[in-house]
Amino acid sequence: MNEIGENLKRIRLLKNLSLNDVGKLMNMSTTAISKYEKGQIIPDSKKLIEFANAYQVKAIEFLKKYQPIQMKFTSFRKRKRLKGKNLDLLKSLIQKEVSNYLEVISINNYNENSIHLKPYKCNAIEDAENVAIKFREKINYSLIQPLSDLINTLENLGILIIQIQNPDERFNDFDGLSEYVNGIPIIVLLDGIQDGARQRFTIAHELGHLLLNISNDLDEEKLCNRFASSLLMPKEAVIREFGSYRNNISFYELIAFKYEYKVSIATIIYRLKDLNIISQYTYKNLSIYLNKNYVKKKEPVLLAPESTYQFKKMIYKLENSQIISLNKACELLGVTAYEYNRENNNY
């Protein structure tokens, strides 16, 4: 399939249109549209404009080129409902964004030798806890200090954080992805996550996949969850805030800790149970109260999510230094020249 055909199919799927839908919009057969997408027919400029009008995009979108990179998708976390064309589309979008990012960092002379990341052997659940402690030492955070800006901290270590757009919320069942691509550590998550607590735990969990060299007979997801909990809520900090043992916990204490450490209440009480600060019985009662009084995944306080600026910052730097053209910068960011200049002027 040629690049124009790939772009035609990708944009059609992003617009949530079937071949039949496009056929009606363009007064064409589904067979003909399929041939365009497979590269069996090459559209001329007039036909590209017709496709652009049907999809409500600019015709140049069909001419963009990118070199898809090979990814394993081994640490690709999703729910069972995400499958079929939506799953294929998501993987294609991830590969496209990763390719763009790798292209940009290569221009910036950024390579795997620039990365400051060390994997740790993990043979037991306690090892995940210890790795989190060692990682905090590496980034100069004490065991009673909240991690204020996780994305910025990881990007400064050379980890690429990529946020994927979620049109029509069709990728809501995607939880996260982490992988080394060409020797460079990458974490992928959805853009537009409303609760920053959920976002931060996802990032910390994916960091666990990158850092933990886990024995084959262990549950990798469980160990990464333990690493994430320990990284965001070190044992020493939790005991300092709640004590070594409690029969019950007030809701105000949980809310205050959530604000300070930027984690969800559900995650806090699970951590309290893991550390044997509360009993299984108390944990169950707190969970029931939380589920009964608040809609699932909607806690009483939503924290603002964090944002990544690294990719966009590098593009503006390259364009301003005339290393890449304005058109190339717009292509990488997926914006028009007007949108690019307007954002720059707004700042």
CATH of the domain at 17: 1.10.260.40
Contact 58, 339 (CB under 8 A): no
**Domain range for residue 160?**
76-234
pLDDT in tens, 101-113: 998 888 877 766 6
Average pLDDT, the chain: 88
Contact 147, 141 (CB under 8 A): yes
pLDDT of residue 67: 65
Contact 158, 207 (CB under 8 A): no
Band (pLDDT 50/70/90 cuts) for residue 66 is: low
Average pLDDT over residues 289-297: 75
Total domains, the chain:
3
Query: Does pLDDT of 93 surpass 50?
Result: yes
SS3 293: helix
Do 118 and 205 share a domain, yes or no? Answer: yes
Do 99 and 208 share a domain, yes or no? Answer: yes
- On whether residue 9 sits in a domain, the answer given is yes
Query: Does pLDDT of 183 surpass 80?
Result: yes
Do 58 and 88 share a domain, yes or no? Answer: no
Do 46 and 82 share a domain, yes or no? Answer: no
pLDDT in tens, 232-270: 999 999 999 999 999 999 989 999 999 999 999 999 999
Do 202 and 121 share a domain, yes or no? Answer: yes
- On whether residue 302 sits in a domain, the answer given is no
Do 115 and 200 share a domain, yes or no? Answer: yes
pLDDT of residue 17: 84
Which residue, of 12, 38, 62, is where some domain finishes? Answer: 62
Secondary structure element (H or E) that encloses residue 46, with its range: helix 45-55
pLDDT in tens, 276-289: 999 999 999 999 98
Query: Does pLDDT of 193 surpass 70?
Result: yes
User: Which positions ≥6 away from 276 have C-beta within 8 Å?
Assistant: 245
Do 29 and 82 share a domain, yes or no? Answer: no
Do 184 and 53 share a domain, yes or no? Answer: no
Average pLDDT over residues 159-188: 91
pTM listed for this prediction:
0.82
Judge residue 111's burial from the number of C-beta atoms within 10 Å of its C-beta, 0-12 exposed, 13-18 middle, 19 or more buried: middle
- On whether residue 277 sits in a domain, the answer given is no
Do 120 and 48 share a domain, yes or no? Answer: no
- On whether residue 317 sits in a domain, the answer given is yes
Report how far apart the first and last C-alpha atoms of the chain are (Å, whole number): 41
Place of tokens 């306080």: 301
- On whether residue 304 sits in a domain, the answer given is no
Do 39 and 92 share a domain, yes or no? Answer: no
- On whether residue 224 sits in a domain, the answer given is yes
- Whole-angstrom Cα distance, residue 141 to residue 130? 14
Average pLDDT over residues 43-63: 85
Judge residue 130's burial from the number of C-beta atoms within 10 Å of its C-beta, 0-12 exposed, 13-18 middle, 19 or more buried: middle
- Whole-angstrom Cα distance, residue 222 to residue 224? 5
Of 232-241, 281-290, 295-304, 309-318, least confident by mean pLDDT is 295-304
- On whether residue 328 sits in a domain, the answer given is yes
